[in-house]
Structure 1
Amino acid sequence: MTSETSINVMQRHLLTIEKLRNRVRQMLKCVINLHIEFLVLESNVNTMMDDVKSFNEELLEVQRLDALISALRDYSGPTICHEWPYPLIFKGTIDDADIAQILNGRKKVDKSNNNNINERNINCEVRCKSATNSSTNHQLSDEVT
């Protein structure tokens, strides 16, 4: 009898050990899956932090430009005009300056017969007109001499 009871006890112990091994395997799988989820979350957080940094840089640039625009709108002092070395081919408002700059970049400079570049003097006049809403409208004009 003692041998049968000892065999039963041994079998129960073996079953218990096998159950514990399975439980440990399950726990290890859960830990590995959890670790993978942490790595994915860390990657997502790093990506989001990079996006936030880029948005913050853009926001600072927009705020800087807004402050510059406000300062230029509120400016009532003298305007310094200088000779522009390139011919202006567009007359318009400051809002159209980007188009003029693009067009000026495409215009070729005339050359004379002896391959010297013809010099042109461009006088830039800025005329301010006051509108009823107290905004300022600037116009560019050019004169080639």
Structure 2
Amino acid sequence: MATPAFEDIAETFEFLDDWEDRYRHVIELGKAMPALDEAFRVPATKVEGCASQVWLLPRIEGQGPEARFDFQGESDAMIVRGLIAILHALYSGLPVAEVAKVDAPAELARLGLDQHLSSQRSNGVRAMVERIGLLAAAAAQG
């Protein structure tokens, strides 16, 4: 159940043969992402459990379970900005009630990220996925 934006990333990963190229692509995805305004880089938006500094700011359109989920994110590490961009592609535009149904580990495994990220980075991705789930669940409840 991946979004078209995530499918585009998955297709690009299939095309790229080695992990150095894939890492470069992840970094490029992060560079293309709009920066999160400094005013939103506060403890309330900070994701705990990441080795790098990470902030996620929800952007919900509508109300209740049919509201559309979106977020902005930021990190002080370029590779992590890229991982945020991948998560954005995975979740952005979904109804908030559908966010919890996304099997993020399985989708990210399609990219090989489960095998090529350090344990610290993997823990950080898990922390971001958990935060995304909590933000969407809170929005679904109104």
TM range (shorter): under 0.3
Pick 1 or 2: higher relative contact order, CA cutoff 8 A, min separation 6: 2
- Could you tell me the TM-score, scaled by structure 2's length? 0.20
When Rg is computed on C-alpha atoms for both structures, the one with the higher figure is 1
- Could you tell me the TM-score, scaled by structure 1's length? 0.20
